[in-house]
Amino acid sequence: MLDKVKSLISEIKDTSAKTNEEIEQFRLKFIGRNNIINDLFGEFKSVPADQKRELGPALNQLKVLAAAKLKELSASLNSKDVSSADVDVTLPGIHAMEGSIHPISQTRSRIIEIFERQGFNVEDGPEIDNDWNNFTALNFPENHPAREMQDTYFIEKDPDILLRTHTSNVQTRLMKAKKPPIRSIMPGRVYRNEAISARAHCFFHQVEGLVVGENISFKDLKNTLYHFSKEMFGKDTKIRLRPSYFPFTEPSAEIDISCFICGGSGCKICKQTGWVEIAGSGMVDPNVLENCGIDSTKYSGFAFGMGIERVTMLKYQLDDLRLFSENDIRFLKQF
């Protein structure tokens, strides 16, 4: 029996296969259900004890060898398959398309990060709201043009339900719900009934901010936005405040930053002025505080608002707002 085992061992060692059928034959003989090695193990039981010492290890070796050979045969045949088939194995692989974060989301995250480090928390509110939260509480006079149909998408009349025109509706809700101190930003989508062009869209995104507390002054507003501008556009950025008007702030100011492309000497982006506008701002009008149940003799506050599209366009020097909502992969994959 030992001779038989030895001859099978050398048979296995010498085996090679050129086809899958040959491999299958090998498998049936040595590994399959009624394989020859199992038969030998069966016979092994009745072998005299003195022969078992030598025969046992040899049988085990046979079994291990058969399994290893089967692996080796199929591996070598498969690799031959690849090289012989009509496949050019030197071609680069096909990569799965990877998504990327939309530029608007990237800018929003960056803005949030900068304000969070200044102690602001993020507040959210509905895109559909009533006239009071979007306009009346914010001191918009009854006949203010922003309320008219050309600016606002009304959903229902009496009581007026509309698509918010700014995220200031979240400021109203916040002041009604919480007592000062308040130090929050509100990012979100807003809607205005505008003709779609390179410069305007019927929806866009804003981040507004609100700080209400004791002894909050214009100096705090200026410092907060100065710090933001340096973080967002570079440490040499300067800011400039221009008097402006918003119904809900008094005094109000438009915030410009020194042009980070030309450094202030004048270029296409800043239209040769050296400055670009990034935000509206002002001290919260006492009427607004009172409308929301906050004592305007004790508390003061400042607010600001900026367009995320605008900040993104400045940062990447884009000149068409529509690119953000067209889902053109050639545009999006650059970010």
Q: Given the rule CB under 6 A, which residues bind ligand PHE? A: 166, 168, 208, 246, 249, 280-282, 303-305
**Nearest distance from C-beta of residue 172 to ligand PHE, angstroms:** 11
Distance CA 289, CA 303 (A): 12
Bridge partners, residue 258, by sequence:
275
- The one-letter amino acid at 332: L
List, as own/partner pairs, every contact residues 44-50 make where C-beta atoms lie below 8 angstroms and the sequence separation is at least 24, other chains included: 44/1, 47/1
Kind and range of the H or E element at 233?
A: helix 218-233
Which residue, 69 or 310, has its beta carbon nearer to ligand PHE? 310
- Provide the minimum distance between the beta carbon of 166 and ligand PHE in the complex, in angstroms, as a whole number: 3
**Between residues 73 and 303, which has the closer beta carbon with respect to ligand PHE?**
303
Rounded Cα gap, residues 69 and 31, in angstroms: 10
Whole-number minimum distance, CB 276 to ligand PHE, in Å?
16
Q: Which is nearer to ligand PHE, 188 or 280 (CB)?
A: 280
HEC secondary structure over 77-102: HHHHHHHHCCCCCCCCCCCCCCCCCC
**CB of residue 228 to ligand PHE, shortest distance in Å:** 14
Asked if omega into 145 is within 30° of 0 (cis), the reply is no
69 vs 166, beta carbon nearer ligand PHE: 166
Q: Which is nearer to ligand PHE, 191 or 260 (CB)?
A: 191
139 vs 258, beta carbon nearer ligand PHE: 139
DSSP letter, residue 261: T
Decide whether 62 or 277 has the Cβ nearer to ligand PHE: 277
Pick the closer one to ligand PHE by CB: 15 or 167. 167
Q: Which helix (H) or strand (E) holds 10?
A: helix 2-14
Shortest reach from residue 246's CB to ligand PHE, in Å: 5
Whether the Cβ atoms of residue 121 and residue 184 lie closer than 8 Å to each other: yes
Least Å distance between CB 195 and ligand PHE? 18
Nearer to ligand PHE, 15 or 168 (CB): 168
CA torsion, points 29, 35, 40, 42, in degrees to nearest 10?
Answer: -170
CB of 218 to ligand PHE, least distance (A): 13
Residue keyed to tokens 């030197």: 90
**Identity at 89, one-letter amino acid code:** V
Q: Give the single-character DSSP code of 243.
A: E
Find the residue with minimal CB distance to ligand PHE. Answer: 305
CB of 161 to ligand PHE, least distance (A): 19
Residue 39: CB atoms within 10 A of its CB come to 10
CB 128 within 8 Å of CB 100: no
* Phi, psi (deg, nearest 5) at residue 160: -70, 125
Q: How far is the CB of 306 from ligand PHE (least distance, A)?
A: 8
CA distance readout (Å), 107 to 10, 112, 297: 71, 9, 37
| Contact present, 251 and 218 (Cβ < 8 Å) | yes
